[in-house]
Chains A and B, each alone.
Chain A
Amino acid sequence: MTDDATATYILENQRCFEDLKQVASQLAGLLVLAAAGSNEAVPDHPALLRARRLFREANDAFQSARPTSRARKHHDHVAQAAAMIGEALDQTHGRFDVDRILIPLRAGYAELERAADALPGFEKVSYAQACCGAQVL
């Protein structure tokens, strides 16, 4: 059972979680293009510019979050995720080195997965458009 204060925390912080996940996805997408040899993976790709902006917004929102004791574990994982994803983003300036970006990014996304497991209301993936997604029991 989730208490009212924790439910409020969940509602107020879903967006921040989604945004961090989005930043991780943007970076991961660029990395796979780069690793596959695509010419599209460049440091000024629009997805990267948007990722930097989105990360700043998410980080600002996260700083003002006030977790309950029930939400503490989730919150700590998000904090770790933000730190690692921020580090990955820092590595995107200048030369696009897949290895230097991938290590903190993978660690950051793993923290987001742990955060999703620690508290209800935070989805790792939206199921709505896959073939299983038309039915909600």
Chain B
Amino acid sequence: MKSAYSLWVMEFAAVPNYPQSGLIYGMHNQGTRKLPYCYIVIKGQGTIAMVDVGYNHKAHGEVLANTFGVKGWRPPREVLGEIGIAPQDIGHIFITHAHFDHMGNIEDFPSATFYLQERELSKWVWTMSLERRFRWLMLGIDTADILRAVDLARQGRLVSVQGDRDNVLPGVDLHAAFDTHTWGSMYVTVRNDLAKNPEASWVFCGDLAYGYENLRGHDPGDPEYIPVGLATGSQFNLVMTSEQMVQSVGGDVHRVIPPHEERLKDLYPSRITKLGLRITELALADGEKSQVR
């Protein structure tokens, strides 16, 4: 089966010991696990795209390191440099949601057009018109990111997506997941044969799942959906979105890629770079050289 795109999961920082309870609903007092921070690179068909861009280290790095134990952050030019790509080579970036740790590094990608659900913006604005007692609904948003988004829009580099959009690039579809982790979250599907074959498809889910327990439960022999703990929308919508994502890849949960899932390295070819960060190679486009072997 031909592959239209090469797909890599690029680690740019990590929390070595993260409580399981923060990732899987109800897993209190169950110890910790490594939580990698990653973005996705999609290369092929004459372009390079990404899913999410990580956070702005200049603005948040010290707090995240000292307060939350985030280690080893490296800038995109070093992380992407490991696979021979420069940030200015990136043409399209799909932002799964507007939290600072997913869209905070806009300014490092000067040539890219950014895609974000309009609902993600409009509902944040609506939320901001509420009284102070509703401020929990606004957590995770950095005003500086919104100001950068204004600049993107003025430069014609912000595409305000309304719902699902097929073939935003050939074989790449955007799917709205409204009222889930955030108001206007979305996930990205890559149909790597450019057709509709679920077995050649991949789903990049942002924070709609942190790990495989969210998509199959604790017993793979008796799977169930267990939502992430953090939802501005609802756990119900997260569960139903999990079903949509898993069905879109023919029921193979391992083709749904949670960027925070450390066990991707056990499922797909990977290597640790000289920076101490992981690269996981999900697919290689026809003629593309492996970056992990």
A40 contacts the other chain (CB 8 A): yes
Check A36–B160 contact: CB distance below 8 A: yes
The residue on B at minimum CB distance from A102 is B150
What bracket does the count of chain B residues touching chain A fall in?
A: 35 or more
From 21 to 59 in chain A, residues with beta carbon under 8 angstroms from any chain B beta carbon are 21-22, 24-26, 28-33, 35-38, 40, 45-47, 49-51
**Which of A25, A29, A133 interacts with B140 by CB under 8 Å?**
A133
- Which segment, of B15-23, B76-84, B192-200, B273-281, faces chain A? B15-23
The residue on B at minimum CB distance from A131 is B207
B136: which A residues are within 8 A, CB to CB?
Answer: 129
Q: How many of A's residues come within 8 Å of B, CB to CB?
A: 44
Given contacts A25-B146, A28-B150, A102-B150, contact A137 B68 (CB under 8 A): yes
Given contacts A102-B150, A125-B140, A132-B70, contact A30 B125 (CB under 8 A): yes
Secondary structure type dominating chain A contacts: helix
A135 contacts the other chain (CB 8 A): yes
Q: 24 A-B contacts, Cβ less than 8 Å apart?
A: A25-B146, A30-B125, A31-B147, A32-B146, A36-B160, A38-B118, A38-B122, A40-B122, A105-B147, A106-B147, A113-B59, A124-B142, A125-B60, A125-B100, A125-B142, A127-B63, A129-B136, A129-B230, A130-B140, A131-B99, A131-B207, A131-B230, A133-B22, A133-B68
10 further A-B pairs in the complex, CB-CB below 8 A; given A24-B143, A109-B143: A22-B135, A28-B146, A32-B153, A127-B64, A129-B136, A129-B232, A130-B99, A132-B101, A134-B18, A135-B18
